[in-house]
Amino acid sequence: MEVLLLQNIKKLGSTGDIAKVAVGFARNYLLPNKLVLLANQKNKEVFEKRKDEFEQANAKKKQEASERISKIHNRSIIVVSSAAEDGKLYGAVKKKDISFALEKFGADISPKNIFIDDRIKQLGVYKVLVNLFDDVETTIVVAVARSESEGNKALSEKTDSQPIAKDFVDEAKSTS
């Protein structure tokens, strides 16, 4: 099915492009979320008439997303979870848990904007992608631990994310 993009969509194209997508993807996601129009002559004409309006709306959404992402850029969070002695969690850490933890920074991030590479089922420190709009994204560090203090310790020991972890640990200490 061919669709006309109303905004930039990763792996599909830019505003105004015509992309070929699966029928189910278009009907179940793209059309209900008003991300595309069916690529017929009438819709192409409508798009051309309202092109500036779509571009302004997209610019506004991108600006809002940039403001929201700035609240969590270079941040680390701690998710407290129960685990067995070997470090296996009794339940996986979900996007919803990460979204809830991000609320501490005043960031209203939907779980659908959080991308986890693999299921988090073990204590440890993980990198998680947060993508709010087109190319407005950041990577956050998530420490999964049995307690806040254990999470702070794990973050401070993680060498490849030290600048991020140090900011969070310093902030956590100042708010305690």
Tell me which residue range forms the domain holding 22. 2-49
Same domain, yes or no, for 39 and 86? no
Same domain, yes or no, for 77 and 109? yes
Distance CA(49)–CA(64), nearest Å, equals 25
Same domain, yes or no, for 38 and 122? no
DSSP of 33-48:
TTSEEE-SHHHHHHHH
Distance CA(151)–CA(144), nearest Å, equals 6
Same domain, yes or no, for 42 and 107? no
pLDDT above 90: percentage of residues in the chain: 43
Report the number of distinct structural domains present in the chain: 2
For the entire predicted model, the pTM comes to: 0.73
Same domain, yes or no, for 74 and 31? no
Same domain, yes or no, for 29 and 80? no
Per-residue pLDDT of 2-34, as tens digits, reads: 999 988 888 888 888 999 999 999 999 999 998
- Cβ atoms of 78 and 101 within 8 Å: the answer is yes
